[in-house]
A and B are shown apart, each in its own frame.
Chain A
Amino acid sequence: DAGITQSPRYKITETGRQVTLMCHQTWSHSYMFWYRQDLGHGLRLIYYSAAADITDKGEVPDGYVVSRSKTENFPLTLESATRSQTSVYFCASSERVRGEAFFGQGTRLTVV
């Protein structure tokens, strides 16, 4: 199906473990983003990508790594998970720079 999909939808991991959240879009949008959503903070940008092999930091990048070897995929890796990274993570894509963003359904990550 066309669209933007995230996996897994739910994940529980232990402190110190590495975990990767997947994001796949079928529109061939150039721009992709990772946001985290926490109560009282709204949506905060972690990383974004303007094209394959072009990524840059957002507002809260510490502890996260991204890659974009293919236009359609934009995985987010937590190198060593901490409890403060417990959050809902949204991947989004956009056809135009600063254009309408299409969000995935989110991944709820709990770090114990």
Chain B
Amino acid sequence: GQQVMQIPQYQHVQEGEDFTTYCNSSTTLSNIQWYKQRPGGHPVFLIQLVKSGEVKKQKRLTFQFGEAKKNSSLHITATQTTDVGTYFCAGPSGYALNFGKGTSLLVTP
């Protein structure tokens, strides 16, 4: 079945540094979604990408969907302590979503 892999598993940065997490699928995806989970919280939807090569921005967050629609990335510019959490990508699988294992981001001031 479809596998969604995320790297890195963990990332520790100093506040102000940039951060990138990568998501790779074993199959072509019709779309990809990104979620953020704060420590002790629940996953919250960030964005959905649909088109090949699509790039979307949300303030300091930049999301990209690969040309082949098999990979995606989330880049955070100038991290802040509020960015702490785990970032998940998810690809459609049947009626549901298949989540990557996530990248946990720790930001130290």
Contact = CB atoms under 8 A, between A and B. Distances in A.
Contact of A58 (B41, B42, B96): B96
Contacts of A45: 93, 96-98
Interface residues of A, number: 24
Contacts of A41: 101
A100 interface: yes
Contacts of B92: 98
B44 interface: yes
Given A90-B42, A98-B31, A104-B42, A48 B96 contact: yes
A26 to B, nearest CB: 16
Contacts of B43: 43, 90, 92, 101, 103
Nearest to A99: B48
Interface of B: 30-31, 33, 35, 41-45, 48, 88, 90, 92-102
B95 A31 contact: yes
A42 B88 contact: yes
A99 to B, nearest CB: 8
B102 A102 contact: no
Nearest to A48: B96
Instruction: Point out which of A44, A45, A97 has the most chain B C-beta atoms below 10 A from its C-beta.
Output: A45
B42 A42 contact: no
A54 to B, nearest CB: 9
A31 B90 CA distance: 16
B97 A98 contact: yes
Contacts of A33: 96-97
B42 A98 contact: no
Nearest to A102: B45
A101 B45 contact: yes
B88 A43 contact: yes
Contacts of B96: 31, 33, 45, 48, 58, 98
A81 interface: no
